[in-house]
Amino acid sequence: MSLVTRIFCLLQLLFGAIGYAQNPGDSSLYYIELFDRQKIYGQLIYLKHPWFGKSHFWVDSTRYAISQVKFYRNHIGYFANVKPLMLFKPDVFAERIIEGKINMYLRWEYRQKLYYYQIGTGALKKAKRRLLKIDLVDHPESMRCIRQMRTLDYVQAGLIVGGIGLIAHSVIYSTAMTGPLIVAGAIIANANLIPHSMKARKREEAIKVYNEK
């Protein structure tokens, strides 16, 4: 477990203790929900990553294995275990960023945003364009966002292919302009981050406008 993750967990414990001290009687807000649908409420809930041994949850003074927990709510927010959607990976949690008829969850992996969504209390799904296209088909404005995501996919691919192609051409057909053309190709290829970021916003917008109908 990385040092950054451990620091985050320590801060989580610290702020949880502060929250408990400020509001010790309000235990209905925080809980963990197990995969067997049992809910356990507590004043202080946090996820601990020890130096040795497996990660686990503490609910007040009781310990629970991380693999038991499907959802949890604490002073930071509401989180869902996305392990069922990830083969051969440890249990990880995504934070709910949109709440409504369709809930949307987000987690970060190597500086990349990974989105998930949930219709009502149904199963979590990866927020892929093809799945959103099926589930949001009855809302024209959401479908408009999804079509824009497809366009941005083409733009992103075009920038990557164009930039790499320019670099390859410059290397194969070396001229006095080789250096500047390689730099230009690298800039064009890295510009794909712009439509990539725009796709993330459109993905969120598709869920938000659906929840408003």
Mean pLDDT for each consecutive 10-residue tract of the chain (213 residues)?
A: 49 51 58 93 88 86 92 94 84 93 93 93 94 95 96 94 90 76 89 93 96 87
Q: What is the pLDDT of residue 64?
A: 93
Q: What is the pLDDT of residue 95?
A: 96
Cα Rg of the chain (Å, integer): 22
Q: What is the pLDDT of residue 4?
A: 46
Q: What is the pLDDT of residue 2?
A: 52
Q: What is the pLDDT of residue 176?
A: 66
Strands (E) in 50-197, as ranges, are 56-59, 62-65, 69-73, 78-81, 93-98, 102-109, 112-119, 124-126
Strands (E) in the chain, as ranges, are 31-34, 39-41, 45-48, 56-59, 62-65, 69-73, 78-81, 93-98, 102-109, 112-119, 124-126
Q: What is the pLDDT of residue 178?
A: 74
Provide the phi-psi class of 122: left if phi over 0, else alpha when psi is between -120 and 50, else beta. Answer: beta
Closest CA to 83 of 52, 53, 105: 105
Residue 90 in tokens? 């440890």
Q: What is the pLDDT of residue 24?
A: 46
